[in-house]
Structure 1
Amino acid sequence: MSDVSDNDSVSSVEEIFTIRQIQQQSPRPIPSNIKHAVPSRGGFVREIHSSERMPSAVPSAVPMQLCPARENNNTVLLGKFPPIITLNVGGVLHMTRLSTLLKYSDSMLAALFSGRYQVDQDKDGYYFLDSNGTVFSHILEYLRYGTLPPNDMVLSVYRESEYYGLHSLTEKLELKPEIASLQVKESHRAQFPGYNNTRDEIIRTAIANAAVSKVGEVIVHAFRKEFTPRVQNFNPNHGCIVEQAHVTIGPWDSTASEEMLIKCLETDLMDEGYVVKPHESRRKCKYYYGQTCQKFVFKITIVFE
């Protein structure tokens, strides 16, 4: 009897001790203003706010995975992305590996899918890029295989490669004739200050002047250097021919001549689809009083058919 009594006593003591240990390890209330991410069914993540308590059934050894998770505004929270990415690019779906998008670490695509930024998602949960989906397919082909686009897509892909910061693709496309020609034209235009504004002003003036005859004549005063009279009795208010000009451009620092500027303007207008008559030779001012006036004008004529 004494042996049984002793064993019962020991069991009772152990049971009481075990119960007390469990009570000491029970979860404590979560402090206010703190959010916890806990695994839910299916491996997804939900947030627990300060009004809730951590469920006691969740083992402490379960890792707290913070991503991917979404807010109600279809924005991916900061963190990791799945290894296979489905993209909605301007309404066109593309599927690729995350490693493909991260191939060039200095690109915008790599930064966008690095986990440091928020990425919008559409209603189906696909990551959204506001670009041309057809053009983007050539971007993916370059990322996958280093393939360059066909000639008729070079310009569009070049613009997208600049936007996404794919410098290696941009540099290769700059050697294509389509892009090389554009660069030469841009460097040519850059010699003349306010070139684009001047071209637009010529078009607007031609439209206004063609209201009756459908022929828009525009008088342009272009000068590489300012004219400074050398004689004291030169009258600056002599009714100079440049007073007839609708548009004025100059001076500029490059050695490009005024004639070159006019040719550049006419070429651009024709490239845009305008019918342009060959310009006449420049018309000089006829004023003379101790010194000839060095100013002159050109006439650009646009025909609206």
Structure 2
Amino acid sequence: MSLPDYRSPGKQSSPASPQSPVVQLNIGGHLFSTSLNTLRKHPESKLADLFSGQPKLRTDREGRYFIDRDGTHFGAILEFLRTERLPTANVLEVLIRIARAEAIAARRSTILVCVLRTDEDLALYDSAISSLEADKQSVVTFGPWKGAAGPPSVLDLLDCMKMDIESRGYRVSILPHVMDRGFLAKSYDYFHKVIFTWW
């Protein structure tokens, strides 16, 4: 059998019932359910190719399509395919993990956060990153956002981020990152220091 083809809707898949476009996935032991439309959202992608026409994947004992890759972050990929927005919940987890790794035998650890509100900010990202000192710290990036109300203010985002981190039991403060640059050097206000105090 084959998967229903978006070019020929009459075909069907064994893991998905004939009336349902739902596909069961086993990504390295992590189980996911999604629709064929989600997997085919970007027709030029590897996922769209894998789930078009004849199946190109093995199935596990339960009939789920098996992809032999680490499935830890596949949920974030599916969320992006569903919403066209980059996930931010996991970004806080990454930020906290980096801060913990840098906190070995230190009272405080500092992580740089780069806040890009708009596509125009994103276009300047490479220049902004290269403007950091040579001994640049870990940088976690947020944005840009799209939405009917427009992007949130940087202060609103930073305040929400601080509240979310503190709700997990961490003590944190956020300050603008000021770079010591020459008189003619371009300055970017995208960077903020997130300072974790451990004791």
Normalised by the shorter chain, which TM-score bucket? 0.3 to 0.5
Q: TM-score, normalization: structure 2?
A: 0.44
Higher helix share: 1
Q: Between Structure 1 and Structure 2, whose CA radius of gyration is higher? A: 1
Higher strand share: 2
Q: TM-score, normalization: structure 1?
A: 0.30
